[in-house]
Homo-oligomer: A and B are copies of this chain.
Amino acid sequence: MSNNELDEMIKALSHPIRRDILNWLKQPDLYFADQEHPLSFGVCAGKIDQKTGLSQSTVSNHLAILQRAGFISSKKVGQWNFFSRNEAAVQAFLEQMQQQL
């Protein structure tokens, strides 16, 4: 992991809403149990918007930052975008922080 990649990951986590989203996506069956589509697709952007109570464009921006940092991936199914957490990236980040600090 380069310093630039790590910087981008750290910046992605510097907003509490983005940490919340990442945490919710850890247990989608706990936080998004009412989603109609299968949770195996990931969590629909609209459900994440709802849960944050923020506008679609604001949440879309937060999701883009998390995705650019590698913490989440998206999958388009029909007209919907589904997001899932990249557990390996989260764990690699935590290990890197343990080592660097």
**A interface residue numbers (CB < 8 A to B):** 3, 6-7, 10-11, 13-16, 19, 22-23, 26, 90, 93-94, 97-98, 100-101
Contacts and interface: CB of A to CB of B under 8 A. Distances in A.
A80 to B, nearest CB: 26
A16 B6 contact: yes
Contact of A14 (B11, B16, B23): B11
How many copies of this protein are present in the complex? 2
B22 A101 contact: yes
B11 A100 contact: no
A19 B96 CA distance: 11
Contacts of A15: 7
Given A3-B16, A16-B3, A101 B23 contact: yes
